[in-house]
Amino acid sequence: MTDLPVLRLRPKSKPQAIRHGFPWVFADEAVLDRRSRAIAPGGFAVLEDAERKPLGLVTVNPNSKIVGRVMDTDPDARIDGAWLAARLARALQMRERLYDAPFYRLVHAEADGLPGLVIDRFGDAAVIQPNAAWADRMADDLADALIRVTGVSTVILNGQGRARGLEGLEERMEVLRGQAPAEPVAVPMNCATYLADLMGGQKTGLFFDQRPNHAFAQRLAKDASVLDMFSHVGGFGLAALAAGAAHATCVDGSAAALELAQGGAARMNAADRLETVQSDAFKAMEQMALDGRRFDLVVCDPPAFAPAKPALEAGLRAYERVAKLAAPLVAAGGYLVLCSCSHAADLTAFRNVSARGIGRGGRRGVLIHTGQSGPDHPTLPQLAETGYLKALFFRLD
């Protein structure tokens, strides 16, 4: 039997949710007494229901609203290098079935049984985001297990972002194993080439989640003029160029991201078909409307305007404004793609404000396709947050 401390559910909580696969215990659901509060953030405990029946093994963070995260349904499990390697091997097996080249999200947190942990793979390098205290504490063990299981030689820890703040974790950025790439890494995806800055880019350096939506947009892009708003390193724009778009305009507020987009286009021998504009996206769309510019395909992939429920109302207004400003830029019979990575805004709410924004922009359209993240970002059915990405494809009259 384990000698770990115990985290017990309150009598009025619902242990069946945990038994049926829900992976979190909120602070108001647990008995937080002197003993449980003494557990160091990232430590482990046996989770029990109010009748003291074990439910599994959890990692505990008394400083977080999510006080417990289920690590294993076996309360006697030992979270060590061998356990980590087994979880990583299971995640790798699925990705190797899905993708021909080693460029993908290797670990998608709770959906891969590694709560609060994200790992993206870029060939011979991997970038880990430990957004839970246990993963931050075990970063070196994770790096060693990654090398053993995948064969990568470089492991980078990118400890930045809002999620770490919610866990009480400080920002950190370091190379755990190997050496940081001297240049941005070239990433092949949907016949396009992207450049990922693993040390200085957003998140892990590139967004793999839009891969299937890039592919669908490519069906609409041949010989088209394309506008990629909030383009980052050229996600939709470079995909469109790879599919034969006549011209693509990428707009982003980051000069560094646009430089990477230009580098990717050059690798594809498509630099002469790419225009980059460094600007606030809202101001850029307003100016393009005044200039009378029109595009066959317009894509808007903004940051998360509603990262949590308190920001939902303001976030939905922002998404509606994006649709309102983008719709007039679409040529008659053209296509508008609107994306949201806000898990707090569900598909129905996002679809409703998008349609309303299109109408307020003086246009009408039909929804031809609804996209989500790729299979390397699996969704845990019991946790809506793992299925955050939404992409709506409209054809406008």
Please give the full DSSP string across 292-356, using - where no structure is assigned: T--EEEEEE----S-SSGGGHHHHHHHHHHHHHHHGGGEEEEEEEEEEE--TTS-HHHHHHHHHH
In the chain, what are the helix, strand and coil shares in percent, each to the nearest 5? 35, 30, 35
Q: Which residues are catalytic?
A: 341
342 and 239 in a single domain? The answer is: yes
Residue 15: band (very low, low, confident or very high) from pLDDT cuts 50, 70, 90: confident
108 and 54 in a single domain? The answer is: no
Q: Which helix (H) or strand (E) holds 215?
A: helix 211-219
Number of domains in the chain: 3
Indicate whether 107 belongs to any domain. yes
pLDDT above 70 as % of the chain: 99
389 and 295 in a single domain? The answer is: yes
236 and 364 in a single domain? The answer is: yes
Kindly tell me if the per-residue pLDDT of 201 is higher than 90.
no
Phi/psi of residue 217, each to 5°?
-60, -30
| Average confidence (pLDDT) over 211-234 | 98
Boundary (domain end) residue, out of 148, 177, 206 = 177
What range defines the domain where residue 158 resides?
81-177
Boundary (domain end) residue, out of 153, 177, 201 = 177
pLDDT at 50: 92
Indicate whether 384 belongs to any domain. yes
169 and 246 in a single domain? The answer is: no
Kindly tell me if the per-residue pLDDT of 202 is higher than 90.
no
Question: pLDDT digits over 268-287, tens only?
Answer: 999 999 999 999 999 999 99
Q: How far apart are CA 155 and CA 121, in angstroms?
A: 9
Q: Which helix (H) or strand (E) holds 60?
A: strand 54-60
Boundary (domain end) residue, out of 177, 204, 233 = 177
Kindly tell me if the per-residue pLDDT of 39 is higher than 60.
yes
Pairing of strands 330-340, 390-396: antiparallel
Q: In the structure encoding, which two tokens stand for residue 227, read together?
A: 């506008």
Phi/psi of residue 265, each to 5°?
-60, -40
Question: pLDDT digits over 124-180, tens only?
Answer: 999 999 999 999 999 999 999 999 999 999 999 999 888 898 899 999 999 999 999
Q: Are 125 and 155 in contact (CB under 8 A)?
A: yes
DSSP state letters, 19-52: HTT--EEEGGGB---HHHHTSPTTEEEEEE-TT-
Question: pLDDT digits over 219-230, tens only?
Answer: 999 999 999 999
200 and 234 in a single domain? The answer is: yes
215 and 322 in a single domain? The answer is: yes
Q: In the structure encoding, which two tokens stand for residue 377, read together?
A: 């970002």
If one counts every other C-beta atom within 10 angstroms of the C-beta of residue 66, the result is 18
65 and 193 in a single domain? The answer is: no
Question: pLDDT digits over 333-347, tens only?
Answer: 999 999 999 989 999
Bridge partners (DSSP) of residue 286 are none
Nearest to 308 by CA among 65, 21, 6: 65
Indicate whether 103 belongs to any domain. yes
Indicate whether 1 belongs to any domain. no
If one counts every other C-beta atom within 10 angstroms of the C-beta of residue 336, the result is 26
298 and 385 in a single domain? The answer is: yes
130 and 27 in a single domain? The answer is: no
Kindly tell me if the per-residue pLDDT of 1 is higher than 70.
no
Indicate whether 270 belongs to any domain. yes
pLDDT at 396: 98
CATH number, domain of 31, equals 2.30.130.10
Indicate the SS3 state at residue 392.
strand
Burial 149-166 (b: 16+ CB within 10 A, else e): bbebebbbbbbbeebbeb
Going by C-beta distance under 8 Å and a sequence separation of 6 or more, which residues neighbour residue 58?
Answer: 7, 25, 44, 45, 46, 47, 68, 69, 70, 71
382 and 242 in a single domain? The answer is: yes
Nearest to 231 by CA among 216, 212, 217, 248: 248
pLDDT at 45: 97
Indicate whether 105 belongs to any domain. yes
Size of the chain in residues: 397
68 and 88 in a single domain? The answer is: no
Burial 213-250 (b: 16+ CB within 10 A, else e): bbbbbbebbeebbbbbbbbbbbbbbbbbbbbebebbbb
CATH number, domain of 271, equals 3.40.50.150
Indicate whether 374 belongs to any domain. yes
pLDDT at 2: 66
